[in-house]
Amino acid sequence: MLKSSLTVLALGVTLASGSALAYQEGDLILRAGAAAVDPQEDSSQLSINGATTEELLGLDSSAGVDSNTQLGLSVTYMLSNKVGVELLAATPFSHTITANIESVGTVEAAEVKHLPPTFSLQYFLLSPESRFQPYAGIGINYTTFFDEEVSADLDAVTQSLGIPGEGSLDLDDSFGFAFELGCDLLIGENLVLNAAVWKADIDTTATFKYDNGTKITADVGIDPYVYMVAAGYRF
Ligand code: NI
């Protein structure tokens, strides 16, 4: 009786002190879930061979980017019980790029894929013993675009402007800062529920090229919020 009481007491002390729960140096927290990229884009006017549509045609214009959700993966390695380094990765995001031209309207201009790996230094705000682990991070985002495909709709518009043939598209890679807020909720010793949001500085120049040498360009700040909800495991 005394022995079992002591066992219960010891167990209680262990749970209360939470030593089994604590995030600690060397922990690896792996999370998988849905990640959504929600662009907050800010575009220059479209330029044809360096002259804006305003200058050439008297028409305002811009480029737009829609949002997309993919499988997101994030992994944190704890450098101490308060500080971690994190890599965010995902399956390739796919976006529709639109050209918005005054009096023409919104034209689906292209489809493009991108990968935005983001490397962050994270600070966990509460005591390492807490089951609720909110954190803030600062990091670097690298975004690379690929599989750019110009739509037939845009080709019809450019052909009506006297630019022959079909366009091809290239988007410059982007390096920029990223900021992050998130939280882990520990369920038991190893299961983790997670929600996180990043704001990433992603800027690119979109260049549409045509057989006759014409180039249509737009500078686009994509600057998205990236939202993720995930389940994870702490190793
Ligand atoms: Ni930006």
Q: Which residues pair with 146 in a beta bridge?
A: 113
Q: How far is the CA of 201 from the centre of ligand 1 (A)?
A: 4
Q: What is the pTM of this model?
A: 0.85
Q: How far is the CA of 132 from the centre of ligand 1 (A)?
A: 32
Q: How far is the CA of 142 from the centre of ligand 1 (A)?
A: 13
Q: How far is the CA of 169 from the centre of ligand 1 (A)?
A: 20
Distance of CA 24 to the CA centre of its chain: 27
Could you list the pLDDT tens digit for every one of the 235 residues in the chain?
A: 455 555 555 554 444 444 457 889 999 999 999 999 999 989 999 999 999 999 999 999 999 999 999 999 999 999 999 999 999 999 999 999 999 999 889 999 999 999 999 999 999 999 888 899 999 999 999 999 999 999 999 999 999 989 999 999 999 999 999 999 999 999 988 999 999 999 999 999 999 999 999 999 999 999 999 999 999 999 9
Tokens of 96: 């529709």
Tokens of 127: 């005591």
Closest CA to 227 of 204, 203, 200, 201: 200
Helix (H/G/I), strand (E/B), else coil: 76: strand
Q: How far is the CA of 234 from the centre of ligand 1 (A)?
A: 34
Q: CATH assignment of 2-234, given 3.40.50.10140, 2.40.160.20, 2.130.10.10, 2.60.15.10? A: 2.40.160.20
Altogether, the residues listed in the chain come to a count of 235
Q: How far is the CA of 26 from the centre of ligand 1 (A)?
A: 34
Cβ atoms of residues 208 and 150 within 8 Å: yes
Tokens of 54: 């305003």
Q: Which residue type sits at 149?
A: E
Closest CA to 110 of 202, 39, 207: 207
Q: How far is the CA of 223 from the centre of ligand 1 (A)?
A: 5
- Where is 86: in which H helix or E strand? strand 83-90
Dihedral over Cα of 191, 132, 18, 119: its sign: positive
